[in-house]
Amino acid sequence: MLTRPPATLVLADGTAFDGYAAGFLPEGGLTMGEFVFNTSLAGYQEIITDPSYAGQVITFTYPHIGNYGVTPLDDEAARPWCRGVVVRDLSPVASNWRSVGELEDYLIAHEVPAIVGLDTRRLTRHLRAHGALPGAFGHGAFDDVAAAAARATGTDNTDYVSSVSTSTRYSRGEGQRHVVAYDFGIKTTMVDQLAARFRVTVVPAATTAAEVLEMAPDGVMLSNGPGDPAALSGLVEQISQLIGVVPIFGICLGHQLLGVALGGRTFKLPFGHHGGNHPVKDLATGRIEITAQNHNYALAADSLERVHVSHVNLNDGVIEGIASPSTRCFSVQYHPEAGPGPHDARYLFDRFAALMEND
């Protein structure tokens, strides 16, 4: 049986949890970040590799993680961007015909630290009650971990997009319509959904509106991404120059940035939405969609005077979609590409195609 060194997790408010070190063991034995929880029952590899988790430590509420192994086919980015993972029971056995290895080996290869064997239910309940909190974990002395937790910071007012975005343009798909997709932390599954319908050029987040328009796009996609939209005023400025000029579809962070460009403002949710089973209502049709979500920030309802709200979250009333027909743009807070998660909302990519057809 594998022997793991004891480890401790400490949140910024002093709450402590005992567990064992797993995955990659960093020099100094300490990992810091903002702790959030994800309620998905499966899709752990897609979650770990979602760039939207940059700066964060992911707590899996499902107790048994790693049982079906890993495969490159499930990577949502070239590497994980999360700071670390928290797991109740990390499976030592991978059993699935698609698997090419075990999750722990994957974490080690990509230098992702983990802490296992602790009470993830207690941790999740604490985060629900007190909100996403910065903190630290490690296999060093308790005082060292506690000191690291005290100086750990959250994601507020921090630009993580410039770190996770591609540095060069690349293209996918062969459709007649040309879509330029901003990479704010774009997921592979999102690129795949676009490429199945359009000719796609993925561009760095720092690309200007003028450079985008030089590519003569039929539409522009604003992707998901990590961090606080309030720290991304430069991106908002470029998006503002595209509104009304070309059809726009935003997802997650792209939704928030589009909303701000249209005069809205954002705020931080207490513990965010991270999971694969959030019910969302389409206000135009009354249809209920089960959606995958991963965000800590949202648009404030009283700030949206230039758009109409198209979708709302049935759990807490958070705005899940906006639209501005006069300027040919719309966006959703959730993930219609859903990797992992339900596919109820994939029709939105076809809605984007229809918006371009009617341009």
- Identify the active-site residue in 278, 295, 311, 335: 335
Say how far apart CA 49 and CA 164 lie, in whole Å: 11
Sign, Cα dihedral of 234, 238, 241, 246: negative
The token duo for 163 is: 């770190």
295 is catalytic: no
End-to-end Cα, the chain, rounded Å: 63
Three-point CA angle 309, 239, 132, nearest 5°: 65
Residue 41 neighbours by CB distance under 10 Å: 14
- CB contact set of 158 (below 8 Å; sequence gap of 6+): 55, 227, 228, 231
From 49, 33, 15, 40, select the one nearest 119 (Cα to Cα).
15
- Identify the active-site residue in 34, 104, 289, 337: 337
- Identify the active-site residue in 46, 102, 139, 252: 252
Contact criterion met (CB below 8 Å) for 49 and 75: yes
343 is catalytic: no
335 is catalytic: yes
Q: Which residues are catalytic?
A: 252, 335, 337
